[in-house]
Each structure stands twice: as C-alpha cells, then as structure tokens.
C-alpha cells in the first residue's frame, strides 16, 4: 500500500464513528464483566474483565492520536523535517516477542520530539533516518503525523520533548 492509500485509509478510520464506539464499548463491556463477576461470584469474569480493561486502556491511549492524525492530514499544515526511526524488541515472561517503533523528530536538524509510533499493518518501518513531512494541526504542539516516502506514522502515546523539557 503506498503512502496516499495509507493516508486515505487513516482519514477514513480516524474520522469514523466506529473507533469512538469501540472506545466506549470496551469500557462498558469491562464494567459489565466486573458486575457479572460480583453478582455471579465467578472469577472467570474478573479474568476476562482484566483483559478487556487492558484493551480499553490501549484504545483510550491511542484514539486521540488517531483522530488528530486524521484531522491533520485533512486540514493541517506540513513542514519538512526528519525522523530517525529505531525499533525495540523484547520478550515477555511468557516468551512472546514484542516490537515497538520509536522516532526522534527533528526540524532543521534540531531534535524536537521523541515518539512511539503505531506500527502500521501496511508498512513495516526500518531503522534509519528519513526525510519526512511533519503534519501539524492547531491546538496540538507536536506533529500529529509523519509522512516518509515509504509510509505514514502517527504517535501511539503522548510524545515527549527531545530535550527533556515537558510543558
């Protein structure tokens, strides 16, 4: 999938109501599972509730960035910059391998932001330094999306200032 197709898909996904329904739906489901555990006295409901709580937390962390990226790609402004991508891999106690994608965002060779990115299902970033278009939107101080020639990235969590200064 090329960058334009990735942009179109992200705008459709981030602008839709399904993500917002999933956001609230998982929170309601977790609450019902907790109540079911209380009334039924069955610990299985608590285990399922713990799992849905983790999913809910992940969705609540990511969806604002997805919405900002979609809005920025439609209405925002772009500025040239660079992104230095690094991949981190780790193994959890159950021997499952995990990977996260991080980037150092710079404008005019001045590092500004450190981000952890959502890993796209259509593009697997490779470590390295890339020229990029940084997409900004009013009301958000960091780039809401990063466009490289190879693909599209957006934050998974709230970015941190590269210089350690947080407002």
Residue 167 confidence (pLDDT) above 50: no
Residues 19-71: tens digit of each pLDDT: 778 888 999 999 999 999 999 989 999 999 999 999 898 888 888 898 899 99
Residues in the chain, overall count: 167
Residue 73 pLDDT: 92
Residue 81 pLDDT: 94
Residue 164 pLDDT: 57
Residue 143 pLDDT: 94
Instruction: Say if residues 154 and 117 touch (Cβ distance below 8 Å).
Output: yes
Residue 69 DSSP SS3: helix
Residue 82 pLDDT: 93
DSSP secondary-structure letter at 159? -
DSSP secondary-structure letter at 163? T
Residue 10 pLDDT: 84
The answer on 25 and 46 residing in a single domain is yes
The answer on 52 and 28 residing in a single domain is yes
- Boundary residue ending a domain (73, 90, 124): 73
- How many domains, in total, are found in the chain? 2
Q: Is residue 166 part of a domain?
A: no
- Boundary residue ending a domain (46, 73, 100): 73
Residue 12 confidence (pLDDT) above 60: yes
The answer on 129 and 92 residing in a single domain is yes
The answer on 100 and 53 residing in a single domain is no
Residue 104 pLDDT: 92
The answer on 157 and 82 residing in a single domain is yes
Domain span holding position 132: 77-161
Alpha helix (H) ranges present in 41-167?
Answer: 43-75
Residues 89-133: tens digit of each pLDDT: 877 777 777 788 899 999 887 878 999 998 777 788 889 999 999
- Boundary residue ending a domain (49, 73, 97): 73
Q: What are phi and psi of 142, to 5 degrees?
A: -100, 165
Q: Is residue 167 part of a domain?
A: no
Distance of CA 33 to the CA centre of its chain: 27
Q: Is residue 150 part of a domain?
A: yes
């Amino acid at each position: 999938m090329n960058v334009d197709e990735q942009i179109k898909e992200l705008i459709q996904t981030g602008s839709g109501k399904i993500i917002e329904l999933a956001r609230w739906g998982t929170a309601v489901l977790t609450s019902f599972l907790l109540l079911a555990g209380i009334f039924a006295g069955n610990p299985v409901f608590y285990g399922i509730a713990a799992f849905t709580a983790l999913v809910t937390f992940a969705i609540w962390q990511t969806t604002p960035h997805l919405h900002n990226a979609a809005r920025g790609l439609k209405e925002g402004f772009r500025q040239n910059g660079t992104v230095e991508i690094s991949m981190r891999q780790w193994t959890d106690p159950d021997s499952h391998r995990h990977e996260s994608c991080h980037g150092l965002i710079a404008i005019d060779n001045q590092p500004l932001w450190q981000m952890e990115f959502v890993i796209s299902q259509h593009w697997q970033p490779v470590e390295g330094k890339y020229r990029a278009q940084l997409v900004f939107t009013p009301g958000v101080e960091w780039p809401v999306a990063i466009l490289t020639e190879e693909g599209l990235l957006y934050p998974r969590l709230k970015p941190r200032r590269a210089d350690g200064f947080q407002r």
